[in-house]
Each structure stands twice: as C-alpha cells, then as structure tokens.
Amino acid sequence: MNLLSEPVGVSHYMIVGAVMFVAGVVCMASKRNLLGVLMGIELVLNGANVNFVAFSSRFLQSEEGRSLGLDGQLIAVFVIVLAAAEAAVALAITLNFYNNYGTVDVDRASELKG
C-alpha cells in the first residue's frame, strides 16, 4: 500500500517519459511500414513532452520555486504544434511514395543507395 499512499515526484513522470521514448525509438528502428515509423516519431515526441510537463509542474515539487514554471508547458505546446506539422508533411511524402512505388515498405525506398 506504500505505493498508493505516497505522492509522486518528477522521477516517476520521467520513467513514464523514458519508456514512451524508448518504445518510440524501437518503433522507428524496427517497423517496416512507413506509417509505423511515423507513429514511433509521435511516441518519441510525446515522451519528451511528458518530461517537459513534469518539470514545469508545481504539484510534483517539495517547495515553491523549484519547478520550471510555465516555460516547460510553453515548450510542450510548441512540440505538439511541430509534431502536427511534421505529421502532415511526412504523411504527404508517404502518400507520394505510395503513389509512385505502390508500396509503403521503407526497405524498398533504396534508390538513393550507392
């Protein structure tokens, strides 16, 4: 019951962020579907966002003035907006690739290989 009665700290949030980040990196590295790689990128950005929000939170600190304040939340908003922009462009590239080659397998995108 100790786990449920103790308050959480920044470290707990960082572990969640780290696991999401690692899941995203593995997703990017191991998926063969282009859209799977995109989903990995979303997971990585979100793991970073969890850390930013945790550092900016006043509820996870033990005294006033320790937290990052609103800077962390502002950066998290920027990350969300940039992730949306990145998803739009990457999806357009994916659809173009699919129209030209008839596949979404990243291993088949090897024309630039030396």
Q: Give whole-number Cα distances, 54 to 20, 83, 89, 98, 107, in Å.
A: 14, 19, 29, 39, 37
Which of positions 64-93 make contact with other proteins (CB under 8 A)?
64, 66, 69-71, 73-74, 76-78, 80-89, 91-93
Other CB atoms closer than 10 Å to residue 58's CB: what's the count?
Answer: 12
d(CA 111, CA 22): 29
Q: How far is the CB of 113 from other proteins (least distance, A)?
A: 18
Please tell me whether residue 15 binds other proteins under the rule CB under 8 A. Answer: yes
Number of residues in contact with other proteins under rule CB under 8 A: 83
| Contact with other proteins (CB under 8 A) among 11, 48, 111, 112 | 11
